[in-house]
Chains A and B, each alone.
Chain A
């Protein structure tokens, strides 16, 4: 193992700049002649625009320009798009109402974009924005997910009758019905998966510059996937040809999905900077982030499990209504379909599964991927239902899981819902988690708590997720408009240091360190001599970005492939320089050696030689710089068991997490310290969903949780320190043996927490977030 190679908890290379205040986030960038933009947003959830009066704003001090949707349309700037087609049950593609970046005669949610005001200073832009007068014709709003498609509801889009985007069935309905008809027992659960706001702490921002000489637009922006931004903004929005559009996403202050999507502000600022021929900067404030970042989750679900007399799962049936918001965001259709129902087997051998997802429009912000994206919703449904089934059957939650786990010798395991799991050992993770949580000692602890008047509960969740997103062939078949490979370039400089260019961008995951660890392991170059470069379409060759825990599982493999090519090339060069046959050259620990001799060249010497090719034969190409693309064969399937133990004060309803134990299977860990950090963050995100976070619109469509004062983010005193361990298995489909770890916590935690609370209270179900009020009411009912 190299000193700072795979498996070592190397301190992060990126930390120093963040710690001394030298991080470079989008809003930190300022350019000469910069102007400031403010978006005029709809205060109404649903309204026609009868007229817009701009004169007062246009003549306000410092104003450079004011534009509306008409200006955008006049320049042929296209509407925002959705990247994935889902086929509805009538055989037609999902209904896709137009999503103009600036409203065209109608607004559909509070925060919808009506106009952009550009001024010399931010204060002047704000002042002027208040002078834009919009004559709204207010319409009734639809905000409730469950009733959005009901008969007689207000219609939002002409192109989407009954506010339905798609009805998407999956599985064999009749076979599932038959299994239910002959079941020993049927367990049922209705639940809500609460809407969340993703809330990376760095708000979104964009700074657009146009160069009249090169006719190039440069957008500095908060993006998890700069090349994807460039592709969509060019190919679908006609902002600029791809080679005349540069996207620079510098340091990104957290993403968790919210910075994947192509947003109205980014397109409009990109267009406006050319229009006014001045740099234009827009930075979201937190209220705007609440109003206009894509939200997450928001499902209403009925789930049923058919069981035999031994508690074996015979069939699962799930009916979900998923709220897409007012328009379809970039991947809005994919999240409640493929990323959701394809996970319904979970860790179990359930042979028959049928589901229907009805995706609806409402007068709320668009909903899209948020840490876990579809998989937390699937896992919450399943792991809650399994606990309900355990209670119905009089079985311990551990026992019912054991009886239904996919056995370790059944991999690769084809589930009835498309996915084929490549590897896993669910019993091993469960056993380890039970030991870590001292599950057997729980009874005594609960008794002790009782003496203090407290209710103690324990809950587990055994999840599986699909990440390392994704095989292009698979997503192409499913209707994705893009491929999901990743690319890498590994370049030696003549002096022997290495630049690694990756299309996987970091929003805090530590790529500059983990990718360097990979390269030091493979090429034997000291880690200090390796620089990872990402986030700029002018520097990195190509990429699909970071989401779905794919960076190491897909991007890392691309880097490894480029390293392999370098080694192969290095052998040719060393053979030439050492006057040996290529077949006799071996590479190990950074040195090319003639086998069986001590004649060797270091890889740095080979690099220098490659750039000073004074006597190269015609068939030996100079240079030491290789490119690679990697497209995975399959998703990767991390899994694990999380166990949460809570104590509830029945007087106040306050839930305290006493202990949280997680045992995950991520395959091989490149940097255990970083992996653990990802798990901590994910669990806390999940605890936030379970206990605190509720995004709430009132019946008129006003977002009443639009600040950190109204929307409860998890804080340091809401969570304990966590107990983390691993039960790895080797994924045969991933060349590096890695599975991905960024979302596991957010997937595993919500059901573990709620199962612990229902266990403590002795109730069947409690909806998230389990606020003190809800818990107190349930405790009173239970008492």
Chain B
């Protein structure tokens, strides 16, 4: 079995994986980073979004070996000690989560939206950009508010 190496949330990790092992399986099952979730099997729900070399990726759609030598960031890597990242804080302040299952993917996607669209986001942009993330609980209303507020806070 191939051995792979990567940095996850700044820490060097390595592991032996089958060629068919998905990145999300490596993160969840091998590294026990279970904050990244699996909600579907067709790359639709976005519960599994992580960043690979700074780009947002659906980790259910990438083989672990494709992330060899990459820099991977997951939801577990965002907070600074006990201080939440401004986007995480915005989700809490705006009640942008209910069951929390879609949340890690939503937050990781939100950061990518800010990265590509800046800190001053309008509702239409946020809604269009979030179509790769499904939430069954919130009706999106408060997620949209959270992303807008989080984006602004990240600019401060």
Q: Which residues of A contact B (CB under 8 A)?
A: 11-12, 14-25, 27-28, 30, 123, 199-203, 251-254, 256, 285-287, 507-510, 673-674, 676-677, 679-685, 707-709, 713-717, 719, 721-722, 745
Residue positions of B touching A, CB distance < 8 A = 18, 20, 28-29, 32-42, 44-45, 47, 74-76, 78-79, 84, 88, 91-93, 95, 97-104, 107, 123, 126-128, 130-131, 133-145
- How far is B79's CA from A218's CA once the two chains are assembled, in angstroms? 34
Inter-chain pairs besides A708-B40, A716-B128, A716-B144, 20 sampled, C-beta below 8 Å: A16-B92, A19-B103, A20-B79, A21-B36, A199-B136, A201-B136, A202-B39, A202-B99, A202-B101, A253-B100, A510-B98, A673-B95, A677-B141, A681-B136, A707-B40, A707-B44, A708-B45, A709-B42, A719-B139, A719-B140
Contact indicator B138/A677 (Cβ below 8 Å): yes
B100 touches A680 (CB 8 A): no
Q: How far is the CA of A285 from the CA of B38 in the complex (A)?
A: 8
Q: Which of the residues A20, A681, A709 comes within 8 Å of B98, measured between beta carbons? A: A681
Q: Which of A25, A256, A680, A685 contacts B141 (CB 8 A)?
A: A680
CA A713 to CA B141, docked complex, whole Å: 16
- Within the complex, which residue of B76, B95, B128, B144 is in contact with A21, where a contact is CB–CB below 8 Å? B76
Contact: B131 with A716, CB < 8 Å? yes
Q: Which residues of B contact A673 (CB under 8 A)?
A: 95
Give the chain A neighbours of B98 by CB distance below 8 A: 254, 508-510, 677, 681
Given A19-B91, A20-B76, A23-B35: A716 touches B41 (CB 8 Å cut-off): no
- Residues of A within 8 Å of B93, CB to CB, are 11
A16 and B84 within 8 A (CB)? yes
A-B CB contact pairs (8 Å), 30 listed: A11-B93, A15-B91, A15-B92, A16-B92, A18-B97, A20-B76, A22-B35, A23-B100, A28-B28, A28-B34, A199-B136, A200-B99, A201-B39, A201-B45, A201-B102, A254-B101, A256-B136, A508-B98, A508-B101, A509-B98, A673-B95, A677-B142, A684-B139, A685-B136, A713-B136, A715-B131, A716-B140, A716-B143, A717-B131, A719-B140
Decide yes or no: A19 and B97 within 8 Å by CB, A708-B42, A717-B128 being known contacts: yes
B144 in contact with A721 (CB, 8 Å): yes
Taking the nearest CB of chain B, how far is it from the CB of A376, in angstroms?
16
Q: Are B134 and A286 in contact (CB under 8 A)?
A: no
Q: A19-B92, A21-B75, A722-B139 are in contact. Are A716 and B107 (CB under 8 A)?
A: no
Interface contact B131-A252, CB-CB below 8 Å: no
Contacts of A251 in B (CB 8 A): 99-100
Q: Which of B18, B33, B41, B128 has the largest count of A CB atoms less than 10 A from its CB?
A: B41
| B95 interface neighbour in A20, A28, A123, A674, Cβ under 8 Å | A674
Q: Say yes or no: B84 contacts A680, CB within 8 Å.
A: no
| A-side interface mostly | loop
Residues of B within 8 A of A201 (CB): 37, 39, 45, 47, 99, 101-102, 134-137
A718 to chain B, nearest CB (A): 8
Chain A minimum-CB-distance residue to B145: A721
Residues of B within 8 A of A199 (CB): 136
Residues of A within 8 A of B47 (CB): 201
**Do A20 and B35 have beta carbons less than 8 Å apart?**
yes
Most interface-central of B32, B131, B139, B140 (chain A CB within 10 A) = B139
Minimum C-beta distance from B37 to chain A (A):
7
The 8 A-B pairs at the shortest CB distance, nearest first, are namely A21-B35, A18-B100, A508-B99, A253-B101, A680-B139, A684-B139, A708-B44, A28-B34
Decide: A716 and B133 in contact? CB cutoff 8 A: yes
CB distance from B9 to the nearest CB of A (A): 10
Residues of B within 8 A of A709 (CB): 42, 44
The answer to whether A254 and B136 have CB atoms under 8 Å apart is yes
Q: Are A19 and B39 in contact (CB under 8 A)?
A: no
B130 and A285 contacting across the interface, CB-CB below 8 Å: no
Q: Complex formed: what's the CA distance from A713 to B133 in Å? A: 10
Q: How far, in angstroms, from A707 to B45 measured CA to CA in the complex?
A: 10
Contact B127 A717 (CB under 8 A): yes
- In the complex with contacts A28-B34, A707-B40, A715-B95 CB distance below 8 A: no
Asked if B139 and A252 sit within 8 Å, CB to CB, the answer is no
Chain B residues lying within 8 Å of A679, measured Cβ to Cβ, are 139
Of all chain B residues, the one with the shortest Cβ separation from A11 is B92
Chain B CB within 10 Å, residue with most, of A17, A20, A508:
A20
- Please tell me if the beta carbons of B84 and A23 are within 8 angstroms of each other in the complex: no
Residues of A within 8 A of B126 (CB): 716
Question: Given A12-B92, A15-B92, A713-B136, is A23 in contact with B41 using a C-beta cutoff of 8 Å?
Answer: no
